[in-house]
Amino acid sequence: MDLPIKRISAHARREKSIRHGHISTLHIWWARRPLAACRAVICASLWPDPADELCPEAFRKTARAEMTKWARQNLGLLGQESFPRFNRLAKNGKKLDDNVEIRKALFDFIADFANWDNSTVKEYLETARALTQTAHEALGGASGSRPLIVDPFAGGGSIPLEALRVGADAFASDLNPIAVLLNKVVLEYIPMYGQHLADEVRKWGEWIKEAAEKELAEFYPKDPDGATPIAYLWARTINCEGPGCGAEVPILPSRLLEKSRDRSIWINLSGKGGSVHITIHQGSVAEQNLNGTAKRGSVTCPCCGYTTPIARVREQLKKSGGGVKTARLLAVAVVHSKNGVRDYRLPHESDYQALAKAAKEIIRLRYTNPDFFPDETLPLMSGVFNVPLYGHNTWSSLYSDRQLLLLITLCRLVKKVGEKVDSKKDVGFASATVTMLSLAIGKVADYSTSICTWVQSGAFIGHTFAQGQCLPMKFDFAEGVPLVGYSGSWEGAIDWGCRIIEREADALLHVGQSELVSATAQSLPDDTASCLITDPPYYNAVPYADLSDFFYVWHRRTLGSLHSDLFQLKEAPKAEEICEMSGWDPDRYGNKTAAFFENEIGKAFADSRRVLSPTGIGVVVFAHKTTSGWEAMLQALVSAGWTITASWPIDTEMAARLRARNSAVLASSIHLVCRPRENADCTVSKTDIGDWRDVLAELPNRIHDWMPRLADEGVVGADAIFACIGPALEVFSRYSRVEKASGEAVTLKEYLEHVWAAVSKEALKMIFEGADAFGFEEDARLTAMWLWTVATTEKEESLTAEGAEEEDEKIKKKTTGGFSLEYDAARKIAQGLGAHLEDLGHLVEIQGETAVLLPVAARTRYLFGKDSTEAPRGRPKKKDKQLTLGFEGELKQIEEESGDWTGEFKGKAGKTVLDQVHQSMILFAAGRSEALKRFLVEDGIGRNFLFWRLAQSLSALYPTSTNEKRWVDGVLARKKGLGF
Ligand SMILES: C[S@@+](CC[C@H](N)C(=O)[O-])C[C@H]1O[C@@H](n2cnc3c(N)ncnc32)[C@H](O)[C@@H]1O
Ligand SMILES: [Zn+2]
């Protein structure tokens, strides 16, 4: 079935800001898929299209009845999103009798069900399950059985969770033990034990809190005035290498402690007598004046002014194993008991005494219980884990003594719970309880390392993986007090986990299954699954196994005996992990090249096809930054015996962010729909040979059919290009081999070039609304197609607060910096339009992997200069000038140079229509209305209808916030006045 892409995407993006009860708050897992997208995709995979001639009549009948019932029942439930179709039906008591109408009703249902708020509402669940059940039986499933959905790359469990929700069975596997653990909770524990589990976890969570408070009280003393410390703010230190100095200097990027609307709090550092003194201040001050001692890793001494370079800073920290032991406590954030006000103070003697006690306790534990310590290696991975560059070579080295003591205590208490809960009654229930408690330790650990920084704008502790899938070095850090209910608290971790159980308890009817196994050798028998829905690793985006060791080393210590199948190894298994990572770590992963990735992912696709029933359906999520990555994945899928039939670009926050950067637009997540290309006996067919001429003839028709449907859904630009890949590939991948007349096989790569061309041509037809796009020169065609591809419509709204600042910068840049595309994508688009990037240097600038469509202002000299072959590119001197002059200044300069400066600018008309439109835009922007009039009227440029046609199209294509948009609209506004 098709999908209401736009509406689902909006829900997927909104979901990112939802926290309570969402499985992402159970534990960190990287690059999780939004549940909204998973839910919708699963519905569309399980339910046939009523308007399709092959749809079983039984399903149509149920769909008709269910949709009518649902509409009537839920009129009250339908809020803002209520669709007229349902309202009409409900009010008139009318029947859905047309198959296309039933399809539309199902679309509305799927779109509405994708809403997080509706995902646990009884009426939605019952309707979805009824449809799933009927579809399954109508398509040949045994009566009373449920369709099985498999996900062999299950990760954090979004896909299998949604499979259960819509009434299917779910089988989730992953190579990573932590992923399997998370799936166990979601698919087994929550459906099995529900609210009862949440109650038990809360009970034991409280018990642990009380026990830990008692055990650890002496290490976290309260202030004599009754205030409670909530965070200790530290900085690593170096000894100044200035001649004769040697002062111990805190490495501090910023002196700001807290910034809110009404106050700033900061510290001052002064160097006296060879040591650095600290004072705390409050008032109003500009943030930029609060620079600390460190700038890009080099450290300037407040005593002597000498700057110790980064290489030496690194050396010094390396010597002390990361510098946590030699860090200095700068300040303590406290909350006053009387009024709850937050305050900052300098360290007290009692703080140092507590720290000394913790250090002593750690020495004792190291002696008595060395196994408690996660001393497993933390490997250096270029650009991913850079903390080892500073001496953090073991996981335990990331923590201070007191942080270690806290985590070790929690682990010990969780294990004790394991002994105390009555496992005689129900072993599974006891395991579930202890597993949930251990996951809470994972959450606390994430907030308890020496790379957690203090977030000054909100006065809370940022977590270890705040920057995503990496471990970047931080010189200053905030140590929390997880037993008081502040950021990263134990109580909070328990609560987040329990809220998920409580929310989903009633929504998941039956139990799923999870297993630790590689996707390349799955354990299910042949032909058992109805659907394969999966989100495989993205080439080299996330090193899951290495990242997961951060948690694995703790969970193995608490859960090793409970889940002995998951924690046999000292670290998470790596050898079979599918990821291209030779570049990150050539020593350990020299073999994990692009070829390894392609080979292994191919095996996984082949084994997935084996597991799927011959009539089953597959959906594979792809998110790649490069066209070559795409081609490799598609090739692997086709070679593994799959026919691709459709593709849904469903927007996720990640895609939106990459998009907003206005580059790498091809990073949208695409759901590729595919089916096994098998003979009746389930062997892959090898003998159906396609004729290249037929394939080529069918391609444009396919694209022609699809594009308008996408446009109706609001899908444009790169999303539309990818949405066309599915149908385009169906034409090709239904054959085991496509041959030219000579008998030579056509490669997928060659075919994809044709797909790009066909898509570009079709898109242009739409852009120019029926006008013959080929009436325009190649520069106009390329510009139009380019702008269409980078179209950012609405996407920027979905940025999260944390990303917004960074994005703002980028968006600002966009208004002056042109429009960029991945070079290879740009090349393909150009080629598809019969244009050559290499000949268009005055329009497009190539910067390494990126191609930039120049901003119009940057074309001033090319358009008006004496020698119009002068490209802005390759003339650095002129370009420098241009930057300082701005285009108005440059225009003036050109006039002076040409010697015809009479106060009436006489620019000659450009060669192409695009050049002419750009010229008039520049004249408009420079306020030269007389010159613009002469240009359009006297020179006759405005009499060419193509000129206005192009201006009109460009007005629709330039993003709203750009100069270009304002300028072209300015030109268009004069059209009538000038008599055209
Ligand atoms: C993109 S993630 C899946 C994320 C998941 N859809 C979610 O929403 O959380 C890819 C997963 O593939 C797993 N993986 C990598 N190599 C594997 C292999 N050979 N077999 C099974 N799983 C593997 C990783 O551990 C990771 O969890
Ligand atoms: Zn010094």
Ligand 1 within 6 A of CB of 676: no
Q: Say yes or no to pLDDT of 727 above 90.
A: no
- Crossing angle of helices 748-767 and 945-957, in 10° steps, is 110
Distance, CA of 902 to CA of 422 (rounded, Å): 97
**Considering only 99-108, 221-230, 247-256, which range has the smallest mean pLDDT?**
99-108
Q: Say yes or no to pLDDT of 824 above 50.
A: yes
* Residue 10: both structure tokens together: 């909006």
Ligand 1 within 6 A of CB of 789: no
Distance, CA of 906 to CA of 908 (rounded, Å): 6
- CA 692, 694, 695, 700 torsion-angle sign: positive
Ligand minimally distant from the alpha carbon of residue 242: 2
CB 34 within 8 A of CB 652: yes
Mean pLDDT for the stretch of residues 954-969: 89
Distance, CA of 608 to CA of 408 (rounded, Å): 41
The beta strands (E) that lie in 214-324 are given as: 228-235, 237-239, 248-250, 256-259, 264-272, 275-283, 294-295, 298-300, 307-308
CA of 276 to the centre of ligand 2 (A): 10
Mean pLDDT for the stretch of residues 670-695: 85
- Residue range 18-54, pLDDT digits in tens: 878 999 999 999 989 999 999 999 999 999 999 999 9
Query: Cα(first)–Cα(last) distance of the chain, in Å?
Result: 48
CB 118 within 8 A of CB 110: no
Query: Can you tell me which residue has the tokens 């990821």?
Result: 579
Distance, CA of 479 to CA of 97 (rounded, Å): 64
Q: Which amino acid is at 300?
A: T
**Considering only 94-103, 269-278, 936-945, which range has the smallest mean pLDDT?**
94-103
Mean pLDDT for the stretch of residues 538-543: 84
- CA 897, 899, 903, 906 torsion-angle sign: negative
- Residue range 433-467, pLDDT digits in tens: 999 999 999 999 999 999 999 999 888 999 999 88
**Considering only 287-291, 573-577, 700-704, 785-789, which range has the smallest mean pLDDT?**
287-291
Residues surrounding ion ligand 2 at CB below 5 Å? 240, 242, 245, 247, 301, 303-304, 306
The beta strands (E) that lie in 298-370 are given as: 298-300, 307-308, 328-335, 342-345
Report the 10 Å Cβ neighbour count for 580.
23
Q: What does the pLDDT read at residue 570? A: 96
**Pairing relationship of beta strands 513-516 and 169-174 according to DSSP bridges:** parallel
> Cβ neighbours of residue 30 under 8 Å, at least 6 residues apart?
465, 468, 469, 542, 544, 547
Phi, psi of 97 (to 5 degrees): -115, -15
* Residue 740: both structure tokens together: 């030219």
Q: What does the pLDDT read at residue 240? A: 96
CA of 293 to the centre of ligand 2 (A): 11
Ligand 1 within 6 A of CB of 29: yes
Distance, CA of 89 to CA of 83 (rounded, Å): 10
CB 433 within 8 A of CB 201: yes
> Dihedral (C-alpha) 206, 211, 212, 217: value to the nearest 10 degrees?
120
> Cβ neighbours of residue 199 under 8 Å, at least 6 residues apart?
none
Q: What does the pLDDT read at residue 114? A: 95
Mean pLDDT for the stretch of residues 893-918: 72
- Residue range 50-86, pLDDT digits in tens: 999 999 999 999 999 998 888 777 665 544 444 555 6
* Residue 2: both structure tokens together: 């098709």
CA of 516 to the centre of ligand 1 (A): 11
Ligand 1 within 6 A of CB of 31: yes
Phi, psi of 330 (to 5 degrees): -95, -45
872 vs 694, higher pLDDT: 694
4 — pLDDT class (breaks 50, 70, 90): confident
Q: What does the pLDDT read at residue 149? A: 98
Instruction: State the closest ligand 1 atom to the C-alpha of 578, by its place in the atom list counted from 1.
Output: 16
- Residue range 326-373, pLDDT digits in tens: 999 999 999 998 888 899 999 999 999 999 999 999 999 999 999 999
* Residue 602: both structure tokens together: 């191919």
834 vs 253, higher pLDDT: 253
Cα distances from 866 to residues 595, 837, 839, 924, 958, in angstroms, run: 52, 24, 20, 20, 28
Strand arrangement, sheet containing 264-272: 256-259, 264-272, 275-283
Distance, CA of 607 to CA of 307 (rounded, Å): 58
Q: Is 80 exposed, middle or buried (0-12, 13-18, 19+ CB in 10 A)?
A: exposed
539-554 burial by CB neighbour count: b if 16+ within 10 A, else e? Answer: bbbbbbbbbbbbbbbb
- Residue range 742-771, pLDDT digits in tens: 999 998 888 988 888 888 888 888 888 766
Cα distances from 743 to residues 69, 205, 738, in angstroms, run: 57, 69, 9
CA 534 to chain centre: 16
Ligand 1 within 6 A of CB of 520: yes
Ligand minimally distant from the alpha carbon of residue 272: 2
Task: Count CA atoms within 13 Å of residue 783 on its CB side.
Answer: 28
CA 242 to chain centre: 45
Q: What does the pLDDT read at residue 875? A: 36
Q: Say yes or no to pLDDT of 382 above 50.
A: yes
Query: Can you tell me which residue has the tokens 């650009």?
Result: 383
Instruction: State the closest ligand 1 atom to the C-alpha of 29, by its place in the atom list counted from 1.
Output: 9
Mean pLDDT for the stretch of residues 801-823: 49
Distance, CA of 171 to CA of 533 (rounded, Å): 10
**Pairing relationship of beta strands 670-676 and 612-622 according to DSSP bridges:** antiparallel
Spell out the SS3 assignment of 507-572: CCCCCCEEEECCCCCCCCCCCCEEEEEECCCCCCCCCHHHHHHHHHHHHHHHHCCCCCCCCCCCCC
Q: Is 727 exposed, middle or buried (0-12, 13-18, 19+ CB in 10 A)?
A: buried
Q: What does the pLDDT read at residue 802? A: 28
Q: Say yes or no to pLDDT of 946 above 70.
A: yes
Which conformational region is residue 934 in: left (phi greater than 0), alpha (psi within -120 to 50 degrees), or beta?
A: alpha
Nearest to 333 by CA among 244, 228, 203, 226: 228
In sequence order, the β-bridge partners of residue 477 are: 234
Cα distances from 115 to residues 10, 80, 120, 654, 922, in angstroms, run: 9, 12, 10, 19, 46
* Residue 409: both structure tokens together: 């205590």
The residue whose CA is least distant from atom 7 of ligand 1 is: 32
Ligand 1 within 6 A of CB of 22: no
Q: Which of 30, 39, 544 to mutate to test the pocket of ligand 1 (most atoms within 8 A of CB)?
A: 544
850 — pLDDT class (breaks 50, 70, 90): confident
**Considering only 124-133, 615-624, 713-722, which range has the smallest mean pLDDT?**
713-722
Q: What does the pLDDT read at residue 632? A: 81
Distance, CA of 127 to CA of 64 (rounded, Å): 11
